[in-house]
Amino acid sequence: MKLLPTPEQAAALSATLSATLSACNTAANAVSAVAFTQGVFARQKPQKLVYADLKARGLSAQPALHVIRKVADAYTTLHASIEAGLLGGEHSRRRRKAESKPIAVRVDAAQPFDDRCLSWQMDARTISIWTVTGRLRDIAFTGEPGQVKFLATHRKGETDLVHRDGMFFLVATCEVEQAPQFAPTDWIGVNCRPRKTRGPVGRSSSGPPVKAGGAARFQREPQDQ
């Protein structure tokens, strides 16, 4: 969803939300440095080391916890990528670089908010959001009508505040029922390159393989897109 401040709100809103993102992400970099230096990456462990500092920086309780969780989740992702070999082997330059310094986030990176820090007034199409200067209320938002309707009935969990191209957006989490699994009973397989193999041109679950025979000469090789 895109925020739509009135002309009177626009300048103050932009400055306030930019300051809020900057404060949260500057705090996240401080938490990351402590976590890296102390070697504590789980969500609960850095909290004892940095919570008082985050409060002193002007963050309320919930935003402070979200900053800690954001950093912890970033390290979890990094360590999982290393373990899966996505950054190369033990001596690869890319892996050594990632492991040699704390994770850093941009000052305007997205910041998660829960329902205690950001509330939606769906009937009025407005939101209320915590900032470092106090609560901002009655900020209008808009979106594609179908998505707004879906948001009203399926939103659940956190919402990210995103600053992009001079505009502010809210990326909300929605819970969607999983579609029922379809188990096919029959199938057909087709060889798209009959000239490249001596195998059959097609095969199905209920009949014998279809040999290429004279059909292969009517097949055109797939063109790369």
Q: Is residue 73 one of the residues assigned to a domain?
A: yes
pLDDT for position 45: 83
Q: Is residue 188 one of the residues assigned to a domain?
A: no
pLDDT for position 181: 85
pLDDT for position 206: 75
Residue 85 DSSP one-character state: T
Q: Is residue 98 one of the residues assigned to a domain?
A: yes
- Entry pTM: 0.75
Q: How many CB atoms sit inside 10 A of residue 85's CB?
A: 11
Q: Is residue 92 one of the residues assigned to a domain?
A: yes
Q: Is residue 156 one of the residues assigned to a domain?
A: no
Distance CA 77, CA 135 (A): 32
Q: Is residue 62 one of the residues assigned to a domain?
A: yes
pLDDT for position 213: 60
pLDDT for position 188: 78
Which residues make beta-bridge pairs with 141? 3
Residue 210 DSSP one-character state: B
User: Which residue range forms the structural domain that includes residue 55?
Assistant: 6-112
Domain tally, the chain: 1
pLDDT along the chain (225 residues), means of 10: 91 93 96 95 88 94 95 96 93 94 95 95 95 93 95 94 94 90 80 60 71 56 53
Q: Is residue 221 one of the residues assigned to a domain?
A: no
pLDDT for position 40: 93
Q: Is residue 194 one of the residues assigned to a domain?
A: no
